Each structure stands twice: as C-alpha cells, then as structure tokens.
Amino acid sequence: MKPKILILDIETKPALAYVWGLFDQNVGLSQLVTPSAPICVAAKYVGEPVCYFYSDWTDGHLEMIKAIHKLISEADAVVGYNSDGFDLRKLNGEFLLAGLPPVPPVTSIDLLKTVRKLGFQSGKLAYIGPLLGIGGKVKNAGFELWLKVMEGDKVAQMKMKRYNIGDIKLTERLYKKLLPFIGNHPHLGAVGHECGACGSDNVQSRGYRRTKYFKIQRIQCQKCGSWQSGKRTKV
C-alpha cells in the first residue's frame, strides 16, 4: 500500500488583550481577553488532487479540530513548514481542549529544519519558494485580511481559504524538491530494495561509506536522488 504523506498548514487568529502602549509591552494574564487559536486548516496527501479545508466559519471550531485530528491519525507521515515548532504544537493543544485523545505516533517532516541546514539567506517560505523555482506564496493584505476574516467578511474568508490552500500546494512542491536532502526522512518504501523516500525501485549501489568498524554500502535512488544505507560489513 502506498504511504499516506499528509501536507498540513494552519492559520491562527491573534490573541486579544488590553494594553497601555504600542511598544515593549509585557502583557499579563489578567490583560488577556482571548488567546490565539487556529481559525482554519488546509491539508492534502502528497500526489493526490484533493485539498481538504476546514475552518471556524465553514465547520465550527470543534468540527474543524475533529476533522484534522482524523486526517493526522490516518497518515503515515506529516509534512509542514515550521510544523514542529508551530502547527503541530498548536493542534496538540487543541486536541486536548476538545477532549480528543492524542493522535497515534506519526513521523513529522518539518521542511524548515531541512532548509536551515542549506545555508540560504532566509528561511522564510516566501523567499525559499521563488529561490528554488517552485513558485511563491499567495499574496494577501496582511493583518487587514485576518481582521476582516474575524469580523465575518465572506470575501475575506474566501481569500483566506485560497491563501491557506496555496501554502499547502507550495509546501508539497517544496517537499518534492527537498526530498533527497531530508536527512531524517522515514523509510516509506516496501521492505526490499526500494527507495525509502519515494518508493522507486530504480536504485543503484554507489560505493561504500567507511567507519572505524564497518564498511557500509551506499545506495542512491535514481528517481529522487536520495541516499540510503545498504549492507554493512565488519572490517
């Protein structure tokens, strides 16, 4: 069975608080009115045409959280951009608040971690996409868009949906571009001589890597370029 790799991205609303100034504010909990929370989420499986979109305004907050919980629970791996540092952390908190159990153990592939190892001038997705020739993010009006979405503006909500889905499509293209550079990519091929990253059986032996005690066969996928280890021989 083909592995199910889920591309995921959430958008959140800002926290609302009472403040006395505009700069260098230390906001206490007694000043907090409402915390930041997800307002919409987009997802798709790699290689599949369907894009899933759930939001506060189309589904209600609880149903949105339940829907993404189900998608993650059915995935073999989850791919995102800063997903370990933001998206998945936020969602895990939402699962707890919603009375849902933890999602099953699933491999997380955070592409920002890979990008940070490549020495580019910036790690922002808006910079990386055009740099690698895979397109950019959907342009938006910034905070004004978020404000109108929270006010219930239907046109703004449609623009937010387009922006959110645009991010997962860009993330999918980035995933395919970075695939041979993702050092912690889980083995998603079948047991045998298939590429663990893309599942291709077009792999070739490319010499050996030597350690103090072992000689380890190097195998490279001729489709995606990923490397993996083969037979290990004691020296």
Comparing C-alpha atoms, which of 161, 137, 139 is closest to residue 149? 161
- CA–CA dist 189, 91 (Å, integer): 28
Yes or no: say if 197 and 188 are a contact pair by the CB < 8 Å rule: yes
- CA–CA dist 18, 8 (Å, integer): 32
Query: Can you list the pairs that 184-192 forms with residues at least 24 positions away whose Cβ atoms lie under 8 Å?
Result: 184/109, 185/109, 185/226, 186/76, 186/77, 186/107, 186/109, 187/228, 188/3, 188/5, 188/76, 188/77
Task: Tell me if residue 66 falls in helix, strand or coil.
Answer: helix
Percentage of the chain modeled with pLDDT above 70: 97
Cα 134 to Cα 72, 129, 172, 235: the distances in Å are 26, 5, 10, 44
> How large is the average pLDDT for residues 39-52?
96
pLDDT at 221: 82
Task: Take residue 226 and report the two structure tokens written for it.
Answer: 């990923």
- How would residue 198 be classed by pLDDT, with cut points 50, 70 and 90? confident
> Per-residue pLDDT tens for 64-100?
999 999 999 999 999 999 999 999 999 999 999 999 9
Task: Take residue 178 and report the two structure tokens written for it.
Answer: 């970075």
State the helix-helix crossing angle for 143-150 and 154-178, rounded to 10 degrees: 130
- CA–CA dist 183, 206 (Å, integer): 18
pLDDT at 190: 58
**Is the pLDDT at 192 greater than 60, yes or no?**
no
- How would residue 210 be classed by pLDDT, with cut points 50, 70 and 90? confident
> Per-residue pLDDT tens for 137-148?
999 999 999 999
pLDDT at 191: 55
Give the contacts of 2 (CB within 8 A, at least 6 positions apart). Answer: 47, 199
Locate the domains of the chain by residue range: 5-181, 187-235
> How large is the average pLDDT for residues 133-137?
97
Give the contacts of 63 (CB within 8 A, at least 6 positions apart). Answer: 54
Per-chain mean pLDDT for the chain: 92
Q: Say if residue 55 is exposed, middle or buried (CB neighbours under 10 Å; 0-12, 13-18, 19+).
A: buried
pLDDT at 1: 67
> How large is the average pLDDT for residues 173-190?
85
State the helix-helix crossing angle for 88-97 and 61-73, rounded to 10 degrees: 120
Task: Tell me if residue 161 falls in helix, strand or coil.
Answer: helix
- How would residue 193 be classed by pLDDT, with cut points 50, 70 and 90? low
- CA–CA dist 82, 79 (Å, integer): 9
Residue pointed to by tokens 């073999």: 76
CATH code of the domain occupying 5-181: 3.30.420.10
